[in-house]
Structure 1
């Protein structure tokens, strides 16, 4: 009985620790979303809300860099994700997938420039997770994963004109990441899970965050223009695929590259200490 209680207490403590670390990983995204939500509460101003959010996003990026949340190359990786996100937004808004109904000076082809910060926030989460949770990858096939991730990104841009291949691509991603494990630290203990499962879990929480973002007025889907409605669950699957694009970009561009292993097992998760260090850049 005592052993069971100790195990239950340990599991609860680890879950709390995991939640705290995840909150730290989401610091940029949470601050961005809070700023967007707060902008809706402001009284009428001579400056458009979207323009204010852009200025806030730039300021938040500078603060994050100054505070040491990201290394210099992490910031570069996040900037690339921002630019790719803007390209994604330009195509999607033009095709009517969603819209930014308010006016702003900093809108280009219907897309406010702050739109790229949504994708930058996801990249920030990946970068901070790699550092704070000391991620290690076992049997990671970089070439195959990168190729499928690139196809995923292109498919989400081109499926308006050619057949949507997201289901075949989901199977291809499952095959590319089969046998790939991501090891992570919670306190002094090491755990691991399949990389594909990590993509699915992150996709789910991104879908939850998307519901919060659309409620806060970050953007609107067609069915939300007359009143907020939950984002369709199908977007959960889309995010589970798109997170692979961010992961691959950060893997290639971030200064704190994960340690790759072709077969060496992860440290025993019962080990009382984590002996390996993680380069923070």
Structure 2
């Protein structure tokens, strides 16, 4: 266990012990769950703060464009995550893959007229600022970190090849629906059928007597998509990107919630390439769960 992880785990235990001595058990679990979720989405949270902050302070006359500042901030943050071992190199490689597939989709969607990035920038390729790929990387980072931080297990998990086929079908449909019938409703149904029995088992506390909690995987995907939809509204409200036909001050269409729900399955499938040990095709119960060894 690396020094940064040991120090974080020690802080978590001290905070948990302090809270358990003063608060009811369920309230402690709720507070720690929220704090650890925030810690898991640190990369995305920092990027969102940077988007808001630069919008508030940036002057168009400055020599550095806002989009370029966001790109430099994102790449520096990623480097610091690796330097301080907030992400492993193995996780970073698969996050990079999702980064690249996300950027490819950005290029296609921008040229298809789905959305646009209106501001200038040097680090901008084919009308897409390079920081945009880090928004997808933030999703991959969250998934990889939340699995490790909560010592998650997924069971009973469908055959791995089926999840890969579903992820590819979802990704291809994001492109193909511009030319062919949109099959997203069939894909929604496929996620429910394939993962209907899959539970996410997780532990909020790292103590030996910690309770195991669980949540249906499709429910977790929907709640995560809702959070991303809110973040998208921040992006459009700051003018960082604009959807076709969206009026100033108008909320992002709820249809985008469905898009993020599907894209999360692509991100999750990509991350599972390197966290196969968290997947079990057999049902689990609290009695067979081992003490977490990969807590934050």
TM-score, normalisation: structure 2: 0.85
- Check whether the contact 1:145–1:177 (CA below 8 A) recurs between aligned residues: no
Which shifted more, 134-143 or 42-51? 42-51
For residues 232 and 279 of structure 1, what CA distance do their matches in structure 2 show? Answer: 37
Note the C-alpha offset of 1:279. 8.2
Deviations 1:31-88 (A, max 9, x none): 0111122222123311211111111111011011112110001111111111111101
Residue 238 of structure 2 corresponds to: 216
Q: Which moved more, 1:35-44 or 1:129-138?
A: 35-44
- Kept in 1, the 8 Å contact 2:140–2:271? The answer is yes
Partner of 2:44: 29
What is the aligned partner in structure 2 of residue 159 from structure 1?
177
Query: 1:15 aligned to 30, 39, 52, which one?
Result: 30
User: Where does residue 200 of structure 1 map in the other structure?
Assistant: 222
Question: Is the 2:41–2:142 contact (alpha carbons within 8 Å) kept by the matching residues of 1?
Answer: yes
2:141 to 118, 124, 148: 124
Measured against aligned partners, the alpha-carbon deviations of 1:239-265 in whole angstroms (never above 9, x if no partner) come to: 11110000000000x3x4443323242
Aligned partner of 2:268 among 247, 250, 259: 247
Q: Which of residues 19, 42, 45 in structure 1 aligns to 2:58? A: 42
Aligned to 2:279: 260
CA contact (8 A) 1:137 1:258 kept: no
3-state secondary structure, aligned to 1:223: coil
Offset at residue 232 of structure 1 (A): 1.0
After TM superposition, the score normalised by the length of structure 1 is 0.89
Runs (4 or more) in structure 1 with deviation over 4 Å come to: none
**What does residue 103 of structure 1 align with?**
120
CA contact (8 A) 2:229 2:257 kept: yes
Deviation at 1:137, TM superposition (A): 1.2
How far 1:268 sits from its partner (Å)?
5.1
Q: How many residues align?
A: 267
Unaligned runs of 5+ in 1: 1-7
Counterpart contact for 2:157–2:282, Cα < 8 Å: no
Q: Deviations over 1:140-162 (max 9, x none)?
A: 12111111111011101111111
The residue number in structure 2 matching 1:133 is 150
> Could you tell me how far apart the structure 2 residues matched to 1:62 and 1:39 are?
20
SS across alignment from 1:217: coil
Aligned to 2:293: 277
Structure 1: distance between partners of 2:249 and 2:133: 22
